[in-house]
A = this chain, B = another copy of it.
């Protein structure tokens, strides 16, 4: 395998031309270093084209249409579902539900599975490093049913504290939901191990893989979780595409989430019965174009090979952590370079507010994010209001890292002046 894939360090530069947006320069002729891929990745031309061709050649509402266009649109939609299933090694495409994004996927589980299974006094376990999208849905559930929420703690270098996990598991939580990879720190959590322990304790386990799926090969069967959610728009696909994977037996036992066309078996004014999975959870006209784009994106990533993607990003992260370590006044959060640090780097620069850092970087056409990264509890734990964050995708390269380091030095010069 290793011989047929591009060498990890060249993955970035060699495929940059596939991404039209990366060809932009700023008014000073500087190339774009897009280092906000953890928020949303850029899209290769094949994905953009897949969506346009869908609308120019095959568009129609799906299901129940007996004419050719509708049959073709239905086929494209279900092919995309199959592509999703292969990408994460699901046992069946039926286990893959299209959602708008990770957020909707987690809300689906919290509202449908949650309201049917979580009771007054039950414990819901999340973590201190969760994204708001894996916190708030559980809060809404907890409030509705009277459950309690507790968070697994983290160590100072941003790793989950497995002792803290064990203490919470001893209380036999109903749900354990945790991030595959931290979007703020890049920490790759030991997902299989956490799942194993949580299931042993009798919990139902959801993996928020919004940052896992873009960076790592994901195999839901090997992981052994009950639910896994990710966002298409973070894996080179259009915004508006996301996935909830769930174990078939769990999904089949779940009541509907949203009600409407497509998710019913029979409707009378007074009562209705529900369609099978996955239709039961896809009420209304789905975002077929976005799903088709997701299929194309996953095919593109499969061609690159997710093992190569992951190696590329790990090498780049290692390089970036080295470069930033050379800069006095720069503090990097999260684990040291290594297998458990994916391509997300959060840092602060002494005496310069993270937003000011990001603004100076933007002046150099280096796009990074500054803020709480939808992780306010984590920021509180780290004792910062915000950080600046650089994050990588398949198209990121060493030049981007060099330009990041230089722009940080420029910020330091400006603010030291």
Contact = CB atoms under 8 A, between A and B. Distances in A.
Nearest to A136: B259
Interface in A242-284: 242, 256, 258-264, 266-272, 283-284
Contacts of A69: 21, 32, 34, 367
Contacts of A39: 60-61, 65, 70, 285
A323 interface: no
A166 interface: no
Nearest to A24: B57
Interface residues of A, number: 95
B20 A261 contact: no
B48 A284 contact: no
Interface string A278-302: 0000011111111000000000000
A151 B239 CA distance: 38
A104 interface: yes
A346 interface: no
Contacts of A65: 36, 39, 367, 369
Interface string A54-97: 01111111001111111000000000000000000000000000
A377 interface: yes
A367 B68 contact: yes
B261 A133 contact: yes
B283 A20 contact: no
Contacts of A396: none
Contacts of A268: 376-377, 380
A48 B42 CA distance: 18
B104 A239 contact: no
A150 B269 CA distance: 7
A362 B34 contact: no
A272 B367 contact: no
B67 A139 contact: no
A367 B65 CA distance: 9
Closest 5 CB pairs of A and B: A103-B284, A240-B287, A136-B259, A133-B260, A103-B260
